[in-house]
Amino acid sequence: MTPNPYLWLVPILPLAGAAINGFLGRRSSKTAITAIALVFCGASFLLALVLAAGFRSASAPYYFDLAHWIRSGTFQVDFSFYLDQLSLVMLLVVTGVGFLIHIYSIGYMWEDDGFYRFMAYLNLFMFFMLTLVLAKNYLVMFIGWEGVGLASYLLVGFWFTKNSAASAGKKAFLVNRIGDFGFLIALFLMIKHFGSLDFAHVFAAVRTLPAETAGAGLLTAIGLLLMVGAAGKSAQIPLYVWLPDAMEGPTPVSALIHAATMVTAGVYMVSRSSAIFERAPMAMTVVATIGTLTAFFAATIGIAQTDIKKVLAYSTVSQLGYMFIACGVGAFSAGIFHLMTHAFFKGLLFLAAGSVIHGVGGEQDMRKMGGLRQSMPWTFATMAIATLAITGIPPLAGFWSKDEILWQAYGASWIYWLIGVITAFITSFYMFRLMYMTFGGDYRGASPQPAHAPDAHAHDDHGHGHGGPHESPWVMLGPLVVLAFLSLVGGFVGYGNRFEHFLAPVFQQGAAMVEETSSDSGKGTETLLMGVSISVAALGWLLAYLLYSRRPQLPARIAASLGGLYQAVVHKYYIDELYAVLFVKPLIDGSTAILWHGVDQGVIDATVNNTATAAREVSDQARHMQSGNLRSYAGWVAAGGAVVIAYMVWMGVTH
C-alpha cells in the first residue's frame, strides 16, 4: 500500500464547489454559478484521470489518512481514503458521468429560479458519492452512504413546492433509511467480532474464518444485513418503491443518481465486501435470488407504464437486479462491468428522455408523443444507441456485460439464467416499445399552444411558444453524444476477460471462481448461450415493432382482454398500497396514539402543566395558614413547640 496525498482532494473539491454555490449562489450571476460548479467538478474529474494514468497495479492500492477520528481503546477509525482497482473503476464512472451531467444540467435547469441550489446540490452529491467510493473503512463509506441519501432527498424534492415532489423526496430518504438500519447493524457486528471497520483489517480477519457452508453463522448474518442496506440503496425487493416515485425530480437528477451512481452504491458495497459474501453461501444465494426476482418483477411492471421516466425507472431497478445476480453467483467483476456500462447507457437514456421532455414542452406521457424522429434527430440517434446497448445487441457495451452475467449465472444455476433471459426479452420489448411510442408514427401530442405553459411549469419546462417539438440546445446534446460513444465502445474494455484480470487483485477468490466456470463448460456452451440472448433481444424488438409500429390498436385490445392482470401490472401490483396498509398506516396511527398523545401530551406536557397546577394547589392550601386569626397562629406555635419538646425528650432518652 502506497500513500497518495492527492486522494482526499477528489471528494473535497466538489464540496468546496457546493459550499461556494450554496452560500453565495443566491446573489451570483448564473454564469458565475455555472463556472464554479463546472470548475470544481471538472477538477475532480481531471484529478481522477491523473490518478488513473498514474495507477500501477504493482503499487496499488493507494491510501491516504486525512485525520484522526475515533480512538476508543483498541477500536480506531480514521478519515482515510483508499484507491484500488475497484475504486478506480467507480471513481472514473462517477466523476466522468457526473461531469457530463453537470454540463447537461446547465442547459436543462437554466430557466429555473433555483439554479444555484441545483448546482450546489449536484456538487454536494458528488462529494458524498466520492467519499463513499474512496473510503478506506466502512464508517467513512457510511458517511458517503447516508450523504448520498440526503442529496437524493434534496434533489428529488427539488421542486419542493409541489406536494408530490416533496413526498417523493421523503419517501426516498425514509426507505433508504430502512436499508441503512440493516447496514448499521452489520457494522456493529463487525466492530464486535473483528474489532475494526477498516477494509484491510476486516477482510484479513474474515479470510481466516472458514466458509459457512454448513449453516448460517456470523458471516451470513453480516452478509444479509449488508444486503438489506444494499437493497435499500439500490432499490431491490422489497425496498425498491422509492425509485419510481423519485422520478419527480428533475431529469438530470434521475440520470445521475438513479441510473449511474447512487443506486450503484449498493452493488459497489456488496462487491467491496466480496470476502464476506464468498464465505457465506446462504447470503450469496439470497443476493442472487433477490436480484433475479427484482429483475423480472420490475421488468414486467415496465411493460405497462406510460410515463417515459417511469419506464426507465423500472428498467433501472431491473438492471440493478442483474448486477446483484452477478454478485450473488460470485462474479463480482461482471457485476461491476455491468455497472459501468449501465451508467453509460442508462445515463444516456435518462438524459435523452430529458431532452425529449424538454423538446415537447414538459409532456412526459408517451401516449402523447410520437413522430419525434424528424424533429429531434440527434436525441433520437443517441437514444437509439442506448436502447440497442441496454437490450444487449452486439457489439455495443450492454451486450458484453449482460452476456457475461448470464454466462456466470448459468454456471451457478440454470434457473438464474432462464429468468435472466426472459427478463432480457421483456427488457428488449419495453425499450423498443418506448422508442416506437416516442419517436415513431405521428405526433399525438397537443398542438403547441402557450396554454401548455401552466402545467408545463410543474414539470421542468420553459414554455416554448414557438412551433412544435424541437431539438435541444447543444449544451444538452453534447453529453448525449459523449455517452453514446461510450455506450458503443465501452464494452471492449471487458473483451477477453481483461476487465476481470484487472479487478482480480480485489476479488481474489472471485478470480479463481471465474477461471473455474469458463474452463468447465467450455467455449461451445458459451457461444450457444450468447446466441440465445441475442435472439431473445431480437424477438423483443420484433414484438415491439409488431405491436407498436405495425398495428398500434393491438396493445389496447390485448390489455382489455387481459383485464385484471393488466390492471395489476399498470398499478405496479398494488405494492405501494400494500405497504401503506401494512406499514405506513399502523406506524402513523401508532405514532399518533402512543408517541403523540401518550408521550408528548400525556407525559411531557402533563409534567409541565401538572407541576404548575401542583404548585398552585399547594400554595392554595398553604394560604389557609395566613388567616389573620390570632388563635390559629397560637395553635401553630403551640404545636410546633410540642414537636420541639418531643424531639428533645426523645434525644435525651435515646442517648
Partner 1 sequence: MAGAVNLLVQSHPINSALSLIVVMASLAAEYLLLGAEFVAAVQVIVYAGAIMVLFLITIMLLNAGKEVRSKGSHVATLLGVPGVTIGALLVGWTLVGRSSTTQLVSIGALWGDPKSIARLLFHDFLLPFEVTSVLILIAIMGAVVLASRPEAIARDPRKDQ
Partner 2 sequence: MEIPLSYYLVLSGILFTCGVLGFLIKRNIITIFMSIELMLNGVNLSFVAYAAHWHALSGQVFVFFVMVVAAAESAVGLAIIIAVYRTRETLNVDQVNLLKL
Residues at the interface with partner 2 (CB under 8 A): 623, 626-631, 634-635, 638
Residue 589: CB minimum distance to partner 1, A: 53
Beta strands at 2-3 and 62-72: parallel, antiparallel or unpaired: parallel
**Coil vs helix vs strand at 506:** coil
**Contacted by 646, from partner 2, partner 1, none: CB < 5 to 8 Å by type:** partner 1
Residue 621: CB minimum distance to partner 2, A: 13
- If binding is defined by CB under 8 A, does position 639 make contact with partner 1? yes
| CB nearer partner 1, residue 560 or residue 625 | 625
Residue 650: CB minimum distance to partner 2, A: 18
- If binding is defined by CB under 8 A, does position 215 make contact with partner 1? no
- If binding is defined by CB under 8 A, does position 642 make contact with partner 1? yes
Residue 631: CB minimum distance to partner 1, A: 4
- If binding is defined by CB under 8 A, does position 611 make contact with partner 1? no
Tell me if 190 sits within 8 A of 206, measured CB to CB. Answer: no
**Contacted by 626, from partner 1, partner 2, none: CB < 5 to 8 Å by type:** partner 2
Residue 606: CB minimum distance to partner 1, A: 34
| CB nearer partner 2, residue 561 or residue 629 | 629
What's the gap between Cα 336 and its chain centre? 15
**Contacted by 619, from partner 1, partner 2, none: CB < 5 to 8 Å by type:** none
Sign of the CA dihedral with 84 first, then 90, 96, and 102 last: negative
Nearest CA among 281, 279, 268, 412 for reference residue 332: 268
**Contacted by 204, from partner 1, partner 2, none: CB < 5 to 8 Å by type:** none
Give residue for cell 426472459.
Answer: 422
| CB nearer partner 1, residue 74 or residue 629 | 629
- If binding is defined by CB under 8 A, does position 631 make contact with partner 1? yes
User: Cα dist. 465→100, 354, 396, 474, 642 in Å?
Assistant: 29, 19, 39, 20, 99
The stretch among 187-195, 366-374, 517-525, 644-652 that binds partner 1 (CB under 8 A) is: 644-652
**Contacted by 56, from partner 2, partner 1, none: CB < 5 to 8 Å by type:** none
Residue 629: CB minimum distance to partner 2, A: 6
**Coil vs helix vs strand at 423:** helix
User: Cα dist. 558→296, 297, 303, 435, 566 in Å?
Assistant: 21, 20, 13, 20, 9
**Contacted by 628, from partner 1, partner 2, none: CB < 5 to 8 Å by type:** partner 2
Nearest CA among 409, 408, 407, 385 for reference residue 398: 385
Tell me if 379 sits within 8 A of 359, measured CB to CB. Answer: yes
- If binding is defined by CB under 8 A, does position 635 make contact with partner 1? yes
3-state SS string for 558-579? HHHHHCHHHHHHHCHHHHHHHH
| CB nearer partner 1, residue 563 or residue 652 | 652
* Kind and range of the H or E run holding 607: helix 606-622
**Coil vs helix vs strand at 70:** strand
Residue 634: CB minimum distance to partner 1, A: 6
Which residues here bind partner 1, judged by CB under 8 A?
Answer: 627, 629, 631-632, 634-643, 645-646, 649, 652
